[in-house]
Amino acid sequence: MPEGMSRRSFIKLAAVATTAAALPGCEPAARKLIPYVVPDENVTPGMPTYYASSCSECGAGCGIIATVREGRATTLAGNPANPISLGAICARGQAAVQGLYNPDRLRDPMRRTQNGRLVQISWDDAEQMLTKRLAAASKAGKDRVALMRAPDGPTFAKITKTFLGAYGSTQDIVYESVSVEAARNAAQTLFGRTDLPVYKLSEAETIISFDSDFLETAISPVEMGRGYAEFRTPKQRRGELSIGHAFYVGPRMNMTAAKCDDWVAVAPGAEAQVAWAVLHELVAQRWVSQNSGVDLDELTTMVSAYDPAAVSQRTGVSADLIRRMAQAFGKSDGAVALAAGDDESLHLAAYILNAVTGNIGRTMNFLAGPTPPPPASLNDLGGALTAMRDGKIDVLVINNVNPVFTMPPTLRAAESLQRVPFVVWMGTVPDETANMASLLLPTDHPLESWRDSAPRPGIRTLGQPVTQRIAESRPAGDLLLAAAAKVSTNLPWKTTADAVKAEWLALGPQNDTDAQTEFWTKVRREGGIYSNPTAAPVKLSTKGVKTPPPGDAASAELTFITFPHIFLYDGRGADKPWLQEIPDPVNQIVWDSWAEINPDTAKKLGIAKDELIELKTEHGVIEVPALVSKYVHPNAIAVPLGQGHQAYGRYANNRGANPWQIVAAGSMRITVAARGTGKSRRLITPLGKSDMMGRSIIEAMSLTDLQKGIVPPTGEQEAPKPWEMYPQYAYNVHKWGMTIDVNACTGCSACVAACYAENNLPVVGKELVDEGRIMSWMRIERFFPDTDENAPNIYVTPMLCQQCNHAPCEPVCPVFAAYHTQEGLNGQVYNRCVGTRYCENNCPYKVRRFNWYEPHWDEPLDLQLNPDVTVRGAGVMEKCTFCIQRIQHAEITARIENRPVRDGEIVTACEGACPTRAISFGDMNDKESAMMKRRDENSLRNYVMLGELNTQPAIVYLRDMYHEKGKA
Amino acid sequence: MNRIFLPLALVWLIIGATVIAFSQRPWLPRMDVVQPIPFSHRVHAGLNKIPCQYCHEYARRSENAGVPPIERCVGCHGSGILGGIKPVTRPWTDHTQPSFEIRWNRVYVLPDFVKFTHRPHINAGIACQHCHGDVQNMDRVVPVKEINMGFCVDCHTKRHASLDCVSCHH
């Protein structure tokens, strides 16, 4: 049969037809309704329930409000009662839910067999195995059981003490990978304090950051971001409209440096000299406070080697710039210097700068009250690991830290762990450390268990479980207490929940059960206890101050620097797909690590873009693709931490390189030999262009123009005279709009993460991002200025659907899926959309996203999905809706209560997440709304994106602000 | 050979497509839903005049009307007057079900891309019967009206409720 259909093909076809007919007959999953036996009176099915809790993604101590739908946490927002978060949380905090629902979480206890394989065991067997080993170890002698953990809250610390005490040990190793030891030592030297100060950026007029990425990972990104926005907002100071002036001294331009007025590029290690030179100038000019209590004569001799001219010679930083920094710092009404890194002399200089200008007690405070204990010092850590290698530890319990991944080779973590006969790993997603453990115990995610924290005096946060367990996990504290209960009979508590409750009740009223119940309800509702602590009086003593060696810092030596990634931090964020897919704010790279290298250095070394650079130090070698960028000092090659996992789940495994492998303990910088390998791996970015091609997408204006009331020319052609073919829309009730302050936006991407969480946006993965298939409705638009003259270092702003009045997307839709709503939104009806993508092509803002593939969530990540928002299928266009589900919710509530929608009642996900409050949402029909007032009060700074297209967006941006160069 | 098989295959395909198109639309209300318990709305809502929201208590507060918790059933039936607890604990038609867990079968199913919420409708004074029919006269609940977009829009037009697509499709 040459051209015919065989009997076989007929049967095949017939089979296909039959299957096709049978398929829709399959029952959808939700065909059953299962009622409660006894309903929970606090839960209304179909409506969200909110729980206050605390964020455990970093140590800042933000409070969260978890939105829970039918028992499952869907989104997290900041807790307005908590003074650190004040209603906002960062991208890392929002992504905690992806840690909770991570598909690679360990589900059952595992034991490692002789041949290294993991076998599943029951909880009973696991506990028996653990207690047997622990008992044997404690019998063998004192201190033969060790526990390594993250800097947890006070209650967990007590539980660990109880556990270790029961087994005759004091080996409580509190491990934090990114060390702030130098800052602590400096505070100890100068002020005799063991804690770190708290900064108030809003009180300052000048900020000098010596390589402290205070808007990213240092300190608290939410609190500092908020402070920085207040610092930058134009306000009256000494009878003149002004904005704060910020300098950043460091080898690479990170997001913080980019948002500062001046990025002072210095070779790695030269920051301290610049800092001391600033101090020299301050002292020489007597721009010091009279009652700072600093011995100026002594200080004068200390700074003598750091004359700006001399330092300029040694570091290449212009003496004029140093003088300007000193002037701005010394002559301002409130200033703050921040420092980071392992150079103690740098921290000393920063503290002294704050002290001599009388800013202690103002912008920088040491708080009175109990402060959290510091994590183990490098010495203690080294000692503990040596003890392991010497066979002095029989059982090592590791809870929620990953020393094998985050410890530099000099600490020999892997070797030390190998020498411990029995390593118990407790955590959620098995990581590199779990690979070396004999027993793996799945513990609760923080969102599933009780915990607390005391980040600083005056603030104690309470973390309550917000969702039911996803896996067969148990709270880490319960495991420790159960093990302790086997040998000790008089334990104060049986479970973590008991412990937390007992500890918290001790803080409240005593001897009165009613008052205690009330107190317990109150702290759970507010997520903690907050008070305003007073600043502790401190006196500066310059005894024992180390000044940096006044040597030639600007040597030709190439230095490798690494830094915590804004989202992945030290690597702990790498298992969360949102954090992998949201591009980093400055370089806009996703799913990979990169090596920032200056074009000059790259040329000298013969390294091309995307070429894998072999970075070789005395401790190891890594290969990282080159990102040739002028925003890094020629003497430095910078690689972010975070990637390079060889375990830690499917999203983290086998991506990029781990810089911890090539640095020495206690420092993130090291001399490096770099060479191109000839191989290359393309760095993936969703970004189109890095410059605006002369168009005014993000606009900025100088402070001088603002003072004079001059609206700067936009560089665009004149917008055409309004000539309307169609009648104007009548917005009878509401017209939703937004005001976004570009000046306040730092690029932190908290809004992007919030949008992912609220609107069920799928993560597409590295390959599809490369094809332009990223699904983010909201992105951080980033551009660099064409010239260095009179422009901000960077242009960043949230870019989302502009909800145009004259939307180019609407008239091109052949099926009316894109249409104009009665409240001024550009609606998108998913079930009407046939996927022509005309709207996307016609959108000048590139904010529409097409589902090229069926979106997919690895189970159980789908439990995070917001039931208020449709999950879009393949072939459908989608875009920002201004969180229409929240608008609907508020409008329905208002109608039921027979009142208009209140201003501020609707908070979009991005607005709620923004730490700097750059975004306000409101009704454009209501001239009294906070959003409209913000426009009016900043009328000079108003602009709309691509205004000449006459799309009449509902989003009005406020221009970014900058100081004209050369003006302090 | 070929001349016979090709049209035959086509006919088969067409039959299949027709079956898909007309017989089993999953979004259609289903007339054939049989519940695990022969629960009678006529007896409860009709004869005994129990208000709808006594059992479907979330209707005015939430997206879902809610199925009554078993506690609510036992509240009356457990008193002994009404035949004791038996009717609740013994599902009659489906003996595989565990007691104290009733797996009701849905009668009304909306597709995923429609967001219907009971809250505004109940508060606007729409009678339950308007959409669900005279449930108080039914022993076994069957849909009376096809809840499709035309049905919604009809009423929304008459009552000047929102006709914005995104009010329901988001």
Structure confidence by residue, pLDDT tens digits, A659-698? 999 999 988 999 999 999 999 999 999 988 888 887 878 9
Q: Are A28 and B26 inside 8 Å of each other by CB?
A: yes
Residues, chain A: 968
Cβ pairs bridging A and B (under 8 Å): 152
Q: Are A5 and B123 inside 8 Å of each other by CB?
A: no
Structure confidence at residue A718 (pLDDT): 62
| Third-level CATH fold of A559-680 | Barwin-like endoglucanases (2.40.40)
SS3 A325: helix
- Over 50: is that where the pLDDT of A130 sits? yes
- Over 80: is that where the pLDDT of A707 sits? yes
SS3 A252: strand
The nearest alpha carbon in chain A to B104 belongs to A33
Structure tokens at A915: 């730490």
Please tell me the total count of domains within chain B.
Answer: 1
Give the model's confidence band at A441: pLDDT under 50 very low, under 70 low, under 90 confident, else very high: very high
Residues A498-549: tens digit of each pLDDT: 999 999 999 988 888 899 999 999 999 999 999 988 888 888 888 778 787 7
Q: H helices then E strands: how many in chain B?
A: 9, 1
Domain ranges in chain A are: 110-178+374-447+472-498, 198-365, 559-680, 700-712+731-962
Q: What is the mean pLDDT of residues A711-736?
A: 75
Q: What is the mean pLDDT of residues B40-55?
A: 91
- Label residues A454-477 b or e (16+ Cβ within 10 Å = b): bbbbbbbbbbbbbbeebbebbbbb
Closest CB to B170: pick one of A23, A819, A884.
A884
Which of A222, A226, A199, A542 lies closest to A367 in space, CA to CA? A199
Residues A636-669: tens digit of each pLDDT: 999 999 999 999 999 999 999 999 999 999 889 9
Distance CA A958, CA A943 (A): 6
| Main-chain phi, psi angles of A186, to 5 degrees | -65, -40
- Over 80: is that where the pLDDT of B79 sits? no
Q: What is the mean pLDDT of residues A740-765?
A: 94
Residues, chain B: 170
Which of A753, A897, A782, A879 lies closest to A827 in space, CA to CA? A879
Residues A401-426: tens digit of each pLDDT: 999 999 999 999 999 999 999 999 99
- Label residues A815-842 b or e (16+ Cβ within 10 Å = b): eebbbbbbbbbbbbbbbbbebeebbbeb
- Over 90: is that where the pLDDT of A4 sits? no
Structure confidence at residue B111 (pLDDT): 81
Give the model's confidence band at A28: pLDDT under 50 very low, under 70 low, under 90 confident, else very high: very low
A contacts of B113 (beta carbons < 8 Å): 830-831, 870
Please enumerate in sequence order all residues whose Cβ is within 8 A of that of A713, keeping only pairs 6 or more positions apart, or say none.
none
Does domain A700-712+731-962 correspond to CATH entry 3.30.70.20? yes
Which of A227, A193, A226, A458 lies closest to A351 in space, CA to CA? A193
SS3 A243: coil
Instruction: Classify the phi-psi angles of A610: left when phi > 0, otherwise alpha if psi is within -120 to 50, otherwise beta.
Output: left
Structure confidence at residue A29 (pLDDT): 45
Q: Are A896 and B120 inside 8 Å of each other by CB?
A: yes
Which of A890, A884, A876, A902 lies closest to A821 in space, CA to CA? A884
A contacts of B19 (beta carbons < 8 Å): 21
* DSSP 8-class letter at A771: T
Give the model's confidence band at A716: pLDDT under 50 very low, under 70 low, under 90 confident, else very high: low
The CATH class for the domain spanning A110-178+374-447+472-498 reads: alpha beta
- Over 50: is that where the pLDDT of A57 sits? yes
Q: Is residue A68 within a helix (H) or strand (E), and if so which, with residue range?
A: strand A63-69
Distance CA A124, CA A137 (A): 20
Please enumerate in sequence order all residues whose Cβ is within 8 A of that of A237, keeping only pairs 6 or more positions apart, or say none.
A205, A333
- Label residues A50-69 b or e (16+ Cβ within 10 Å = b): ebbbbbbbbbbbbbbbbbbb
SS3 A85: coil
Measuring CA to CA, how many Å separate A203 from each of A230, A242, A243, A482? 9, 13, 12, 49
Structure confidence at residue B105 (pLDDT): 86
Distance CA A760, CA B88 (A): 39
**Which chain B residues in 2-61 lie under 8 Å from chain A, judged by CB atoms?**
2, 5-6, 8-9, 12-13, 15-17, 19-20, 24-26, 58, 61
Instruction: Classify the phi-psi angles of A416: left when phi > 0, otherwise alpha if psi is within -120 to 50, otherwise beta.
Output: alpha
B contacts of A45 (beta carbons < 8 Å): 58, 62, 64, 66
Give the model's confidence band at A882: pLDDT under 50 very low, under 70 low, under 90 confident, else very high: very high
Please enumerate in sequence order all residues whose Cβ is within 8 A of that of A14, keeping only pairs 6 or more positions apart, or say none.
B9, B12
- Its domain, for residue B19, covers 2-168
Measuring CA to CA, how many Å separate A953 from each of A96, A571, A818? 34, 40, 16
Structure confidence at residue B120 (pLDDT): 93
Give the model's confidence band at A720: pLDDT under 50 very low, under 70 low, under 90 confident, else very high: low
- Over 80: is that where the pLDDT of A723 sits? no
Q: Which CATH number is A198-365's, of 3.30.365.10, 2.40.110.20, 3.40.228.10, 3.40.640.10? A: 3.40.228.10
Cα–Cα–Cα angle for A912, A916, A921, nearest 5°?
45
Give the model's confidence band at B6: pLDDT under 50 very low, under 70 low, under 90 confident, else very high: confident
For chain A, what percent of residues have pLDDT higher than 70?
95
| Main-chain phi, psi angles of A752, to 5 degrees | -65, -45
Which of A130, A152, A177, A154 lies closest to A425 in space, CA to CA? A130
- Label residues A295-331 b or e (16+ Cβ within 10 Å = b): eeeebeebbebbbbebbbebbbbebebbbbbbbbbbe
**In terms of C-beta density within 10 A (0-12 exposed, 13-18 middle, 19 or more buried), how is residue B31 classed?**
exposed
Q: What is the pTM of this model?
A: 0.90
* DSSP 8-class letter at B139: S
The DSSP string of A261-310 is: SEEEE--TT-HHHHHHHHHHHHHHHT-S-TTS---HHHHHHHTGGG-HHH
- Over 60: is that where the pLDDT of A952 sits? yes
- Over 90: is that where the pLDDT of B85 sits? no
Task: Judge contact between A638 and A659, C-beta under 8 A.
Answer: no
The nearest alpha carbon in chain B to A21 belongs to B16
Structure tokens at A924: 């454009």
B contacts of A909 (beta carbons < 8 Å): none
Structure confidence at residue A160 (pLDDT): 94
Q: Are strands A364-365 and A198-199 parallel, antiparallel or unpaired?
A: antiparallel
The nearest alpha carbon in chain A to B58 belongs to A44
- Over 80: is that where the pLDDT of B98 sits? no
More confident residue, B43 or A786: B43
Structure tokens at B35: 């519940």
Respond yes or no on whether the N-terminal peptide bond of residue A844 is cis (omega within 30° of 0): no
The DSSP string of B59-120 is: TTTSSS--PPPHHHHHHHHTTSTTSTTHHHH--SS-TTSPTT---EEPS----TT----HHH
**Which chain B residues in 94-123 lie under 8 Å from chain A, judged by CB atoms?**
100-106, 109, 111-115, 117, 119-120, 123
SS3 A878: strand
Task: Judge contact between A563 and A254, C-beta under 8 A.
Answer: yes
Residue whose structure tokens are 């500066």: A540
Return mean pLDDT, chain A: 89
Task: Judge contact between A256 and A215, C-beta under 8 A.
Answer: yes
- Over 90: is that where the pLDDT of A249 sits? yes
The DSSP string of A820-873 is: E-TTS-EEE-TTT-----HHHHH-TT---EE--S-----TTGGGG--TTSPPP-
Structure confidence at residue A832 (pLDDT): 92
Q: What is the mean pLDDT of residues A132-155?
A: 91
Distance CA A54, CA A528 (A): 8
B contacts of A823 (beta carbons < 8 Å): 164
- The answer to whether B63 contacts chain A (CB < 8 Å) is yes
Distance CA A803, CA A821 (A): 10
Q: What is the mean pLDDT of residues A276-303?
A: 86
Task: Judge contact between A467 and A100, C-beta under 8 A.
Answer: yes
Structure confidence at residue A369 (pLDDT): 86
Closest CB to A24: pick one of B2, B24, B162.
B24
Cα–Cα–Cα angle for A124, A125, A128, nearest 5°?
85
Please enumerate in sequence order all residues whose Cβ is within 8 A of that of B157, keeping only pairs 6 or more positions apart, or say none.
B163
Residue whose structure tokens are 């990978």: A177
For chain A, what is the radius of gyration of the CA atoms?
29
Q: Is residue A402 within a helix (H) or strand (E), and if so which, with residue range?
A: none
Structure confidence at residue A1 (pLDDT): 38
Which of A223, A234, A211 lies closest to A748 in space, CA to CA? A223
Task: Judge contact between A631 and A580, C-beta under 8 A.
Answer: no
Cα A493 off chain centre by: 35
The nearest alpha carbon in chain A to B18 belongs to A21
Give the model's confidence band at A9: pLDDT under 50 very low, under 70 low, under 90 confident, else very high: low
Structure confidence at residue B83 (pLDDT): 58
